[in-house]
Amino acid sequence: MDIEKVNSMDFGEFVDVFGNVIERCPLIAAAVWSQRPFSDLEDLKKHFFAFIDALPQSGQEGILRCHPDLAGSELRRGTLTAESQREQSAAGLTSLGADERLRLAELNAQYRARFGFPFVLAARFSDRAEVSRELARRLLCPSAQELRTALGEVKKIGSLRLADLLCADPAKL
C-alpha cells in the first residue's frame, strides 16, 4: 500500500486498516485521520506518536491497560487480536512448557500489581527467555521510568505494525 492510497481513504476505511496499530485503541487511528494528508510512513508514524505523547498520564496508562499479558489468559482462550497473536507466536510464547508459563504468569501478576498496567514488550524482537528476563528486570524499575519504557514499547509495536501495513522494510524505520 502506498501513501497515496492511505491519503485517499475515508475515515471508515482508515480505522478498519489502522485501528489496531495501537493495540485495541481505534480511537487513536480515528484521531490521526484528522491530520491527513500524510507525506510518507514516517509522517504517519509521527502523528500516531504525537497523539500518545499529548495524552495525560491517565490516558497513557489507559493505552497500556488495553494490552494483553504476554503468554496470558487471552492467548490461552484464543481472544488475542490477530496482530498480538502473530507477535506472541514469533517470540515462541505459544509453545511454553507448564513451568515457564507459570513463571511468566507470576511475574505478570507482580508487574500489574506494582505498576497498575500490564507488562508490554515488542515481543517480535525477543525470544521466550528474553521476555522473562526483561520482565524480571523491569519489575524493579521506578514507576515513572517504567511508564516511559512501556510507552516506548507501544511505539515499537506500532512502528512494526505500520511497516507491515505499508509493506516497508522494518530496518529502515
Note the residues at the interface with a second copy (CB under 8 A): 10-12, 15, 24-35, 51, 54-59, 61-66, 112, 116-117
Locus of grid cell 493495540 = 23
Per-residue CA distances from 89 to 82, 85, 93, 96 (Å)? 11, 6, 6, 10
Locus of grid cell 475515515 = 11
Q: How far is the CB of 60 from a second copy (least distance, A)?
A: 8
Residue 36: DSSP 8-state: P
Per-residue CA distances from 154 to 56, 94, 101 (Å)? 16, 21, 23
Please state, as a whole number, how many other Cβ atoms lie within 10 Å of the Cβ of residue 88: 23
Among this protein's residues, is 47 annotated catalytic? no
Q: How far is the CB of 94 from a second copy (least distance, A)?
A: 21
Which cell goes with 148?
Answer: 516511559
How far apart are alpha carbons 119 and 30 in whole angstroms? 25
Catalytic residue among 45, 67, 128, 161: 67
Q: How far is the CB of 171 from a second copy (least distance, A)?
A: 31
Nearer to a second copy, 34 or 95 (CB): 34
Q: How far is the CB of 154 from a second copy (least distance, A)?
A: 12
Which residues are the active-site residues?
A: 67
